[in-house]
Amino acid sequence: LSSAHPGARSTGAPLPVGFRKHDMSARRGELKAAYAIGEEEWEGLSASPLLLSLADVMVESAVGCIPIPLGIADGFLIDGEEVAIPMAVEEPSIIAAASFAAWLVRPDGGFTTWASAPRMTAQVFLEDVTEDGERRLAACEARVRSALAPMLSSLERRGGGFKELRVARLPGSGTVRADLVIDVRDAMGANRLNTAAERARPLLEAESGGRALMAILSNAAQDRLAGARFRIHADRLGIRLPPGMDGAEAARRVARASALAQEDPSRAVTHNKGIMNGISSLALATMNDTRAVEAAAHAWAAREGQYRGLSMFAVEGDTLSGELELPLALAVVGGSVDFHPAGRAGLAVLGAPDAPRLSRIAAALGLAQNFAALLALVTTGIQSGHMRYHAARLAYRAGARGQESRRVAASLEAAESADIEAARAVLAMLRGSAE
């Protein structure tokens, strides 16, 4: 290894100059030599040759893959259809909670969902635009349409394409923003939108007399909303409740908890984190852009100037209802979604949905996740459920695998206190009695 980056401090041996230009197997060797990465940890970064070669074309300086656990949430009835939902996530209890909520609301009809047309916005920001220029800009929609027609023709054939030009002047800086609204059909649309913005840029400069500062999509996706709702008889909540609490009281408490997330931004963040536990896990399992989905959701939550919970629950008579609506720019083609085999597998499990259907499933999942979290929080609390996962990890650390780890975890769960010593003792006992 040649020493690199003179003067820079490194926590291991420095990576060689040109590291990013070396081929992947050389980079992996250099990484392993430079840092204290043990064999098991190295395995944690490794994958099949197929996945490593995919990683190598997907990102720069690739050295491996991070294997996020993938699970399937079952029990979902969405618009009358059975759906198994793949979720990629590192946190325990999320998938179980989503399924629990899905089974709970199923007898009352499951989830009803909706989604708007998949419209996204490409933006060109223009400086030095006079009021006359702004007026000319606002009147040039037809010319923008013609300029974009060649690159959007395949989208137009499928019912998508250019829909609208909107012009606004930002009050602070006076910058004029031209929004090109484009229906991107089954894609997330980033590539197409960025190309459209750059293609329209010279025309918009000429029409407005201004100079473009930049051209890029907006991830706000506020024209691409999806939502879900469900209703449930409060008496169905009467399972797993603390003594003295009935279903009606549990329903009241869930509704109060959602009202708190409207009132208090610090609670709203955690409330929405629970929703995104579901949505981001599905986005990742289908190789969608999780950062874009998250950014849009949080911006939407703050659209009135105060950050609020994305969902609402209400009690009417003996029924609890829940509703969630948010921007969801989820794709089923383009990007890494249909490029990476894991994304394709995720879509296959979902029954090959189109993009609006995927967004509707995501909304139902987010609502289920949120409902399960609120119900647990206002009744038994979430820590009792977490003990099971803590016990499973202890069993694994003690050396138990497969069914054996489940049996060790069950004994630990029943015990008053569980630590690694207790896990080892239970495992030894189990193995002893099996001999």
**What does the binding site for ligand MEV look like in residue numbers (CB under 6 A)?**
91, 270-271, 273-274, 277, 373-374, 377, 382
Of all helices (H) and strands (E), which one includes residue 347? helix 341-349
Q: How far is CA 163 from CA 199, 251, 370, in A?
A: 16, 43, 34
Q: Which of 134, 223, 289, 325 is catalytic?
A: 289
SS3 of 45, please?
coil
Rank residues 4 and 382 by Cβ distance to ligand MEV and give the closer one: 382
Side-chain half-sphere CA neighbours of 281 within 13 A: 29
Residue 186 identity: D
Least spacing, CB of residue 234 vs ligand MEV, in Å: 20
Query: Do residues 69 and 89 touch, judged by C-beta distance below 8 A?
Result: yes
Going 80 to 82 to 88 to 93, the CA torsion angle's sign is positive
Rank residues 217 and 237 by Cβ distance to ligand MEV and give the closer one: 237
Please provide residue 232's backbone torsions phi and psi, each rounded to the nearest 5 degrees: -145, 140
Rank residues 268 and 347 by Cβ distance to ligand MEV and give the closer one: 268
Least spacing, CB of residue 387 vs ligand MEV, in Å: 15
Least spacing, CB of residue 267 vs ligand MEV, in Å: 8
Q: Which of 132, 316, 386, 419 is catalytic?
A: 386
Least spacing, CB of residue 73 vs ligand MEV, in Å: 15
Query: Do residues 86 and 98 touch, judged by C-beta distance below 8 A?
Result: no
Query: Minimal CB distance to ligand MEV: which residue?
Result: 274
Query: Do residues 114 and 227 touch, judged by C-beta distance below 8 A?
Result: yes
Least spacing, CB of residue 309 vs ligand MEV, in Å: 9
d(CA 85, CA 104): 16
Q: Which of 41, 43, 91, 318 is catalytic?
A: 91
Q: At CA 95, angle to CA 53 and CA 70, rounded to 5?
A: 15
Least spacing, CB of residue 85 vs ligand MEV, in Å: 17
Structure tokens at 299: 């911006």
Least spacing, CB of residue 296 vs ligand MEV, in Å: 19
Q: Is 134 a catalytic residue?
A: no
Q: Is 289 a catalytic residue?
A: yes
d(CA 260, CA 267): 7
d(CA 49, CA 191): 28
Rank residues 287 and 373 by Cβ distance to ligand MEV and give the closer one: 373
Side-chain half-sphere CA neighbours of 306 within 13 A: 10
Rank residues 91 and 419 by Cβ distance to ligand MEV and give the closer one: 91
Rank residues 125 and 230 by Cβ distance to ligand MEV and give the closer one: 230
8-state DSSP, 416: S
8-state DSSP, 203: H
Rank residues 137 and 276 by Cβ distance to ligand MEV and give the closer one: 276
Q: Is 386 a catalytic residue?
A: yes
Going 282 to 118 to 197 to 138, the CA torsion angle's sign is negative
Q: Which residues are catalytic?
A: 91, 273, 289, 386
